[in-house]
Amino acid sequence: MRALLALAVIALAGPAFAAPWCHAPRGGNAIILEIEIGKFTETEKAQFYEMRLRQLGIDARNTTLWNGCVQSIVRENGRIVMRFYDPWTLEEIPVD
């Protein structure tokens, strides 16, 4: 019974482990200096990232911040997919 319960917990937690984490810039050694000018809500930050993604030619919608990443619903070739982006570089982060 315990083995079955442990297997169920691992099966449910599996998708959570596949999600990206973006709490540090990608690409190795970096020094981060963050300066905030005013206070922005999470919604305002998400709107800013969505605007930047659109400027890069990415049809981003319903953008949110998740696990430190920029999560957005993107329309590609008539399909709608969820994509994650690094908040510093806006590079797409692959989900394994």
Q: Whole-angstrom Cα distance, residue 47 to residue 60?
A: 10
Read off the pTM: 0.65
Residue found by looking up tokens 């990443």 in the block: 69
Which residue did the predictor score with more confidence, 27 or 78?
78
> CA gyration radius for the chain?
17
Q: Whole-angstrom Cα distance, residue 66 to residue 45?
A: 12
Per-residue pLDDT tens digits for 44-54: 999 999 999 99
Q: Where are the domains of the chain?
A: 20-27+39-96
Contact by Cβ (8 Å): 52, 45: no
Q: Whole-angstrom Cα distance, residue 50 to residue 75?
A: 13
Per-residue pLDDT tens digits for 4-44: 344 344 444 444 445 566 755 555 555 555 555 568 888 99
